[in-house]
C-alpha cells in the first residue's frame, strides 16, 4: 500500500511539473501514436542534414596533410600545429572531430594517431582518397549547392553557366582538371581488384580502354595478363600522366597511349573495347554516339565491356543503393548523364548496334559485356 501511495504521489508531481505532457519540448509518446519514434526520426534527419560538416572536417585534414604527418606514429596537437602552421587550440578541436568520425584516435598521453580509415588520406597510401576529399570539398560540394536549380530546370551546372558540358567548363581551369584526374585515378584503383576478380580477361589479344585517363585500369589488366597488348585512348591532355604511369608499372612495351576524341571516332585496332565510368556521364543521345563509334571500331567477333553502376529497379536504403542514387544526382548536376538500370543499358546497347551478353557484378560496379549486332539506322 505504501508503494502504491508513493507511485500516485510521483505521478501527481510529474503532472504538476509538466502539465502539458511534454519531454524536452516534445509531446509524450502516448500522444498521436508515439513521440519517441518521432524524436528518433528527427534526430536521424538532423544528423543527415549535418553530413556536409563531415566532408569539411575530412577536407581540412587532407589539405593540412595530417595523414602524412601521422604516417610514422602518433603526435600531439602542439607538434601538428607547429608542422602545419595552424592555431593549436583550433587544430585540437579539429582533431577531436576527426577522432569522433574514426579518422584518428586519441591516445592515453593526449597525442593522436591514424586509424586504418584515416591512413587512406595519406597521398602515399596504396588506396589513397586524399584527392577525392579535395575534389569533393573544392568542386563537387560547391556544385551541389545549386542542386535545386538543376532539379527545377533539368539543366546541368555547366548549361546554367553557358558551357557545353561539365568537362568543357572544368577545362577552363587546368587546376580543376588535375584535381578531377587524381580523384578518378583513386576511384579506379579502388574498384580495379573487383573488376579483375569479376571478369575473365583471358582470350583477349588487344584491349583498348576508351576514355582510359591515366591508364590505371588497363595497366592493371596488362600486369595480370602478360600476353595482352593494349591502348589507352583519351584526350591529348592525358598523355603525360598515362605514359608516366605505364612506364612506372612496367607495361609500356605492350600498352601505349593514343590521343583522340571518342565523340569523333575510335581507332579500329582492338578486338575488345572497355569503357569505365564513361557512359554514365552522358545522356542517351551522346552515349549512343560514343557506343556507335566503338561499334564501328570493333570486328564482328569483338566485345564491348562497360564498367558502370547499375541502378536497382526498386531502390532500397542499403549503402550501395544510396551510393548509386547520389552518383545519379551527381550526373544530373555535372555532365548531364545518369546511372542506368540493366534494362536501360540493354536498350541503349541495342540502339547502338550491340546485344547485351552478360553482367558480372564487381563490388559496387558491374562489368557489362556486349557483342556487336546489327546497328540500327542513324
Cell 534526430 sits at which residue?
43
Determine the distance from the C-alpha atom of residue 156 to the mean position of all C-alpha atoms in its chain, rounded to a whole number: 18
Integer angstrom CA distances of residue 144 from 76, 140, 190, 299, 331: 36, 6, 24, 42, 11
Q: Point out the residues of the chain with pLDDT beneath 50.
A: 1-7, 10-11, 13-31
DSSP for residue 137? I
Beta-ladder partners of 210: 233
Integer angstrom CA distances of residue 346 from 94, 212, 315, 369: 48, 23, 19, 10
> Do β-strands 272-276 and 206-210 pair in parallel, antiparallel, or remain unpaired?
parallel
pLDDT attached to residue 21: 43
Contact 368, 305 (CB under 8 A): yes
Q: Tell me yes or no: is domain 51-128 CATH 1.10.3210.10.
A: no
Measured CA to CA, the distance from residue 233 to residue 226 in angstroms comes to 20
pTM of the model: 0.87
* C-alpha cell belonging to residue 51: 553530413
DSSP assignment of 76-104: -HHHHHHHHT--HHHHHHHHHHHHHTTSE
DSSP for residue 318? S
All residues at 6 or more sequence positions from 256 whose CB lies less than 8 Å from its CB, including other chains? 230, 231, 232, 246
Measured CA to CA, the distance from residue 61 to residue 276 in angstroms comes to 30
All residues at 6 or more sequence positions from 118 whose CB lies less than 8 Å from its CB, including other chains? 61, 67, 70, 98, 102, 103, 104
pLDDT attached to residue 375: 62
pLDDT attached to residue 37: 82
Q: Output b/e per residue, 106-124; b: 16+ Cβ within 10 A.
A: beeeebbebeeebbbbbee
Measured CA to CA, the distance from residue 375 to residue 149 in angstroms comes to 37
Determine the distance from the C-alpha atom of residue 268 to the mean position of all C-alpha atoms in its chain, rounded to a whole number: 31
Determine the distance from the C-alpha atom of residue 48 to the mean position of all C-alpha atoms in its chain, rounded to a whole number: 18
Same fold, 51-128 and 188-372: no
Determine the distance from the C-alpha atom of residue 343 to the mean position of all C-alpha atoms in its chain, rounded to a whole number: 23
User: Can 280 be counted among the known catalytic residues?
Assistant: yes
pLDDT attached to residue 31: 47
Considering the candidates 280, 295, 321, 324, report the single residue annotated as catalytic. Answer: 280
* C-alpha cell belonging to residue 90: 583550433
Cell 508503494 sits at which residue?
3
Q: Map out the domains of the chain as residue ranges.
A: 51-128, 188-372
Select from 96, 94, 97, 99 the least CA-distant residue to 84: 94
Domain 188-372 top-level CATH class? alpha beta
Contact 55, 141 (CB under 8 A): yes
Measured CA to CA, the distance from residue 272 to residue 295 in angstroms comes to 10
Backbone angles phi, psi at 370, to 5 degrees: -135, 155
Amino acid at each position: 500500500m505504501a508503494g502504491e501511495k508513493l507511485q500516485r504521489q510521483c505521478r501527481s508531481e510529474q503532472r504538476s511539473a509538466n502539465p502539458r505532457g511534454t519531454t524536452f519540448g516534445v509531446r509524450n509518446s502516448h500522444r498521436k501514436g508515439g513521440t519517441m519514434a518521432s524524436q528518433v526520426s528527427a534526430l536521424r534527419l538532423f544528423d543527415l542534414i549535418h553530413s556536409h560538416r563531415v566532408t569539411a572536417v575530412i577536407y581540412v585534414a587532407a589539405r593540412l596533410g595530417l595523414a602524412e604527418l601521422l604516417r610514422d606514429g602518433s603526435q600531439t596537437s602542439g607538434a601538428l600545429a607547429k608542422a602545419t602552421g595552424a592555431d593549436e587550440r583550433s587544430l585540437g578541436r579539429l582533431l577531436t572531430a576527426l577522432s569522433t568520425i574514426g579518422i584518428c584516435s586519441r591516445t592515453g598521453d593526449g597525442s593522436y594517431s591514424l586509424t586504418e580509415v584515416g591512413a587512406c588520406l595519406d597521398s602515399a597510401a596504396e588506396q589513397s582518397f586524399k584527392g577525392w576529399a579535395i575534389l569533393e570539398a573544392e568542386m563537387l560540394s560547391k556544385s551541389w549547392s545549386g542542386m535545386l536549380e538543376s532539379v527545377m530546370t533539368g539543366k546541368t551546372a555547366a548549361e546554367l553557366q553557358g558551357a557545353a558540358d561539365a568537362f568543357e567548363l572544368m577545362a577552363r581551369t587546368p587546376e580543376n582538371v588535375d584535381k578531377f584526374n587524381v580523384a578518378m585515378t583513386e576511384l579506379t584503383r579502388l574498384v580495379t581488384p573487383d573488376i579483375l576478380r569479376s571478369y575473365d580477361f583471358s582470350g583477349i589479344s588487344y584491349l583498348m580502354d576508351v576514355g582510359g585517363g591515366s591508364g590505371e585500369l588497363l595497366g592493371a589488366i596488362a600486369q595480370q595478363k602478360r600476353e595482352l597488348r593494349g591502348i589507352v585512348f583519351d584526350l591529348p591532355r592525358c598523355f603525360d600522366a598515362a605514359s608516366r604511369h605505364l612506364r612506372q608499372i612496367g607495361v609500356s612495351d605492350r600498352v601505349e597511349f593514343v590521343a583522340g576524341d571518342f565523340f569523333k571516332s575510335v581507332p579500329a585496332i582492338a578486338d575488345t573495347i572497355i569503357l569505365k565510368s564513361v557512359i554514365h556521364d552522358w545522356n542517351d543521345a551522346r552515349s549512343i554516339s560514343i557506343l556507335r563509334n566503338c561499334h564501328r571500331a570493333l570486328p564482328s567477333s569483338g566485345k564491348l565491356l562497360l564498367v558502370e553502376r547499375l541502378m536497382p529497379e526498386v531502390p532500397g536504403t542499403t549503402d550501395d543503393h544510396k551510393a548509386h542514387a547520389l552518383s545519379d544526382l551527381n550526373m544530373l548536376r555535372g555532365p548531364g548523364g545518369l546511372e542506368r538500370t540493366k534494362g536501360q543499358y540493354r536498350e541503349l546497347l541495342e540502339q547502338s548496334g550491340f546485344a547485351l551478353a552478360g553482367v558480372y557484378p564487381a563490388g559496387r560496379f558491374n562489368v557489362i559485356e556486349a557483342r556487336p549486332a546489327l546497328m540500327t539506322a542513324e
